[in-house]
Structure 1
Amino acid sequence: MVAKKQYRRVLTIAGSDSGGGAGIQADIKTISACWCYACSAITCVTAQNTVGVQAIEPLSVDIIRAQIDSVLSDIGVDAIKIGMLGSPEIACAIAAKLRNIDVPIVLDPVLVATSGDVLTKKETIEVIVNELIPLATVVTPNLEEARVLTGYDDERAWQFFREKGAKALLLKGGHGTEDELSDILFTFEKNYEYRNHRIHTKNTHGTGCSLSSAIASYLARGAEIHEAVEFAVEYVHRAIAAGADYELGGGHGAINHFYRFW
């Protein structure tokens, strides 16, 4: 009997972006573009476009739990990505659900949107630090988010995350103004640096969501942490380049998630 083919399955737990550039929508595009099967559990619904976030409505904890249970009980997962959470109650419920699941978990602490809108309240940040970081295989804050979470934006941030239980920290440098970007991965064994030249475009909405989802996808496919980050950084850089000249909305447009196929 011929063995059936198996998808590599990635579950994204995050908020919905009505504009399609970030959140669950960006995650599903990224996971699919990285040759994995995307499942989702939506934590909140946002009214959002390229210029900002107009409204946020968290879903009930019960329906979020039900979404996760539905995926885990039938389809299963090879990796999980966690993004926007919506409330401390949601964050606590997700932590409880994932505490005994033995697959890579990529935690993207979505605190502020590309437009500058605040997406995460202080009470939720406390749960992220105390309940979710200990479950994380990789945490992927930008420098500003690292400062909010730990008070640091350098190797001292890694010491904080490490003491909390994270296996690796990717400090993203893309929100600066320098022409050369530097993302630094801290792991127990050694540190890695990934450099790229900045692409001057306003079409960067959802880059953080896409990067964390790409990392989860490559981890699901069996890559080591530093390999998954290397592949994911290259994927997002090329997606930015491919979408740089498009015009979408009046603000921060989207990257081209499907540049490999279009």
Structure 2
Amino acid sequence: MNQLPVVLTFTSHDPSGISALQGDIETLGSLGCHCTSALTGVFAKDSREVKWQHCIPASTLVAQARAVLEDMPVCVIKIGDLNSIENIEAVHSILMDYPHIPVVFDPTSVEEQEELTDAYTNLILPMCTIAILNPSELLTLIPYAESEEMAVNLILETECEYVLTNRFTKTDKTIHNQLHSNSGCLKDYTSVKLDQQFQGAGGVLSAAIAGYIAHGAEICEAVGDSHRLLQRSLKKALSIGMGSQFPYRLAGIAS
């Protein structure tokens, strides 16, 4: 019997469908994966802003995740925002029970709360196969780092295997997604920054990385394929509400 690779995503519900759970479902589905989920929070959100947010209790989060993990052969775990120290501790306990499953970590926002960032750094990063972090997230998670490069190296010292960063060069309007390991910068995936404002672009990239890993791709291959998929998604971006555009997340079907 043919079986789709299963990805478990820890993420929030965005009722606008622009980011979070629906983004993961569409991106992973377009790559031939089955997306399962454990909700970490519920938003009241439109295409412009978050109006209200509710954090899911840790016991509920654990019940959701274990129901899936005890029933299905999960190939990859994708982690977004966990929203509370209790949820971070709960997910850490789950990851400890499934150390063989690759972990993709992509926090869409890291709040500057010392206890929360310490929990991410001490409990989640050491369990990660790859962490996808922008410059602000790097320096929030590692506030004592004197540079982004130092922050990357300190994250790798936590036993996180790979870190994917992005850097914008104003002179030629290019975005550099750089993949780092203990061996240094392995690859620089470059693209030209588009003029539009997007929501959910980072989620497409991280979900695609999880999807390609679920199909057996090595990290460099998974990140490269995901980078190209994101560019196709942005070129076909949708504008449905009165706020930001968002990527066309079914672009993987054509690949």
Indicate whether the TM-score tops 0.5: yes
Question: What is the match of residue 73 of structure 1?
Answer: 70
Q: Which amino acid aligns with 1:160?
A: L
Instruction: Name the one with the larger strand percent.
Output: 2
Question: What is the match of residue 60 of structure 2?
Answer: 63
1:82 to 2:82 alignment: no
Question: What is the match of residue 13 of structure 1?
Answer: 10
Label 1:65 to 1:178 Cα distance change in 2 as closer, same or farther (>3 A): farther
Question: What is the match of residue 214 of structure 2?
Answer: 220
Structure 2 unmatched runs, 5+: none
Q: Do the aligned partners of 2:168 and 2:174 also contact (CA within 8 Å) in 1?
A: no
Of 188, 192, 201, the residue aligned with 2:196 is 201
Please identify, of 247-256 and 140-149, the stretch whose mean Cα deviation from structure 2 is larger: 247-256
Q: Do the aligned partners of 1:141 and 1:172 also contact (CA within 8 Å) in 2?
A: yes
Q: Deviations over 1:224-248 (max 9, x none)?
A: 11111111111111101111xx432
Q: Do the aligned partners of 1:172 and 1:182 also contact (CA within 8 Å) in 2?
A: yes
1:159 to 2:157 alignment: no
Of 135, 160, 165, the residue aligned with 1:143 is 135
Label 1:20 to 1:178 Cα distance change in 2 as closer, same or farther (>3 A): farther
Aligned-pair identity (%): 28
* Count, aligned residues: 250
Partner SS for 1:173: strand
Distance 2:45 2:175 in 1: 27
Q: Do the aligned partners of 2:27 and 2:252 also contact (CA within 8 Å) in 1?
A: no
1:121 Cα offset (Å): 4.4
Aligned-CA RMSD value: 2.0
Q: Do the aligned partners of 1:8 and 1:221 also contact (CA within 8 Å) in 2?
A: yes
1:11 Cα offset (Å): 0.6
Partner SS for 2:70: helix
Q: Do the aligned partners of 2:153 and 2:182 also contact (CA within 8 Å) in 1?
A: no
Q: Do the aligned partners of 2:163 and 2:181 also contact (CA within 8 Å) in 1?
A: yes
1:133 Cα offset (Å): 0.1
1:76 Cα offset (Å): 2.3
Equivalence map 1:58-137=2 (5 Å): 58-101=55-98, 102-111=100-109, 121-137=113-129
Structure 1 unmatched runs, 5+: 113-117
Distance 1:176 1:146 in 2: 20
Q: Deviations over 1:168-201 (max 9, x none)?
A: 0000236979621111000234521000111221
1:122 Cα offset (Å): 3.9
Per the normalisation by structure 1, the TM-score is 0.89
Q: Do the aligned partners of 1:104 and 1:136 also contact (CA within 8 Å) in 2?
A: yes
Per the normalisation by structure 2, the TM-score is 0.92
Distance 2:116 2:169 in 1: 23
Partner SS for 2:97: coil
Q: Deviations over 1:15-56 (max 9, x none)?
A: 111111111111111111122111000011011111111011
Q: Which amino acid aligns with 1:22?
A: S
Q: Which amino acid aligns with 1:44?
A: G
Question: What is the match of residue 32 of structure 1?
Answer: 29
